[in-house]
Amino acid sequence: MGVDDWGGGLNQKVVLGRRDPLSWVGFQWTGEEPEGLNDPKQAVALGAEWEGDELVTYNKPSFDHNFSRVRDGWMEDSD
């Protein structure tokens, strides 16, 4: 991942999922989430945030990087 890859997604709102009361699980991913992410709580731990019924990130490259590192047992402090 190069420097340009990190800068491209900064401050751009990306909706990862939405609460969906009609779904049997109550939540629907949008397809913008990294492959293998299946828990909204984990997304929040990785830096996503709830805005109303939308689970969003404003730094997709960093969010994807954090998720890719979960397998290593590493987690960045999102604060």
Model pLDDT, residue 22: 86
Question: H/E element holding 70?
Answer: helix 60-70
70 or 12: which carries more pLDDT confidence?
12
| Domain membership of residue 17 as a residue range | 3-70
Please write the tens of the pLDDT for every residue from 16-52: 999 988 888 889 999 999 999 999 999 999 999 999 9
State the Cα–Cα distance between residues 33 and 44, nearest whole angstrom: 12
pTM of the predicted structure, to 2 decimals? 0.76
Domain count, the chain: 1
State the Cα–Cα distance between residues 76 and 68, nearest whole angstrom: 11
Q: What percent of the chain has pLDDT over 90?
A: 59
78 in a domain, yes or no? no
State the Cα–Cα distance between residues 69 and 27, nearest whole angstrom: 25
7 in a domain, yes or no? yes
